[in-house]
């Protein structure tokens, strides 16, 4: 454990911010500046791409690529963020697994509220399938709001009659738009990122008046997870969204879904982004990469399993 590293990151995240609600432009600029400080690993290359009807960032290993695709959904409360702001996460997953990743630039609220992000994610997944990709070689991964999209896109894909991907990996996912988890209150003083008020501010932009009590907005409470692929949910104890993961894990278990709930002590929301400066971040990404590699069915694993 790395008490000094965790304390340093916590202090950085608690630096004073301007009082009062910020404009959408200020939130987007601030998040972009913060995430630009994250360390992107060596051994990857990126290229602009398109998936479905949306731009995407293709992230590939420079050496020893393997057959398999990670479809990644960035975080940012459905209001800010981009494939570039998530590059420390996608880059590490690609470097550690050898699989390529498409990081989707889905539409953002308030210009494009619910369900625009899910529609774009489903369209991107459908495009991969239409290109001939075997769903057994695809994993969904995402952080925060994007972690929520990993789950809701599976729901949308199943409802559309599409085969589901091989696995889901979600870092600190947002899975409850009703904000009724106990951790919203019990972890409030520990969370250096979010308050109930800040989440309700951005949440209102995404909801645009919709009732949050529906499975595509609050899957931790309402989703039928029957037939879902194996799931890895990673979260930290210092985040108000912790119970989004704990309740989703319980719901998955009740539905007969293989699920790993991976909770790290004394780390903040999407702590994995601090890879290279926080030991727990690198270790969590190692576990996530192993989980993906275990579940994506590559030609090598298919041959081995047939022996």
User: What is the band of 306 on the pLDDT scale with cuts at 50, 70, 90?
Assistant: very low
Please identify which of the residues 88, 144, 183, 245 carries the catalytic annotation: 144
144 given a catalytic annotation: yes
CA distance 298 to 237: 34
pLDDT at 300 over 70: no
Structure tokens at 304: 């081995």
Please identify which of the residues 88, 245, 269, 280 carries the catalytic annotation: 269
User: What is the band of 303 on the pLDDT scale with cuts at 50, 70, 90?
Assistant: very low
List of residues 6+ apart from 290 with CB closer than 8 A: none
User: What is the band of 25 on the pLDDT scale with cuts at 50, 70, 90?
Assistant: very high
201 given a catalytic annotation: no
Q: At what angle do helices 3-13 and 279-295 cross, to 10 degrees?
A: 100
pLDDT 10s digits, 130-172: 999 999 999 999 999 999 999 999 999 999 999 999 999 999 9
What is the pTM assigned to this prediction? Answer: 0.95
Please identify which of the residues 239, 245, 280, 295 carries the catalytic annotation: 239
245 given a catalytic annotation: no
């Amino acid at each position: 454990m790395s008490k000094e590293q965790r304390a340093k990151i916590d202090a950085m995240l608690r630096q004073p911010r301007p009082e009062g609600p910020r404009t959408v432009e200020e939130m987007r600029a601030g998040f972009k500046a913060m995430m630009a400080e994250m360390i992107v690993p060596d051994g990857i290359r990126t290229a602009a791409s398109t998936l479905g009807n949306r731009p995407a960032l293709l992230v590939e290993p420079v050496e020893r690529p393997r057959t398999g695709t990670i479809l990644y959904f960035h975080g940012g409360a459905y209001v800010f963020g981009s494939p570039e702001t998530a590059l420390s996460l996608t880059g590490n997953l690609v470097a550690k697994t050898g699989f390529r990743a498409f990081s989707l630039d889905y539409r953002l609220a308030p210009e494009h509220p619910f369900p625009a992000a899910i529609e774009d994610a489903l369209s991107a997944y459908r495009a991969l399938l239409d290109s001939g990709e075997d769903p057994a070689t695809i994993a969904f991964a995402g952080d925060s709001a994007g972690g929520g999209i990993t789950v809701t896109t599976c729901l949308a894909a199943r409802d559309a009659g599409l085969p589901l991907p091989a696995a889901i990996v979600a870092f600190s996912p947002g899975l409850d738009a009703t904000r009724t988890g106990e951790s919203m209150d019990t972890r409030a003083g520990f969370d250096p990122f979010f308050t109930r008020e800040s989440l309700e501010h951005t949440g209102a932009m995404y909801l645009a008046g919709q009732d949050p009590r529906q499975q595509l907005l609050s899957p931790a409470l309402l989703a039928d997870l029957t037939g879902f692929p194996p799931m890895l949910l990673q979260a930290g104890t210092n985040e108000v969204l912790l119970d989004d993961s704990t309740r989703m894990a319980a719901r998955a278990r009740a539905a007969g879904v293989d699920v790993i709930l991976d909770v790290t002590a004394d780390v903040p929301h999407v702590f994995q982004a601090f890879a290279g400066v926080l030991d727990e971040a690198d270790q969590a990404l190692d576990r996530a990469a192993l989980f993906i590699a275990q579940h994506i069915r590559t030609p090598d694993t298919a041959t081995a399993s047939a022996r």
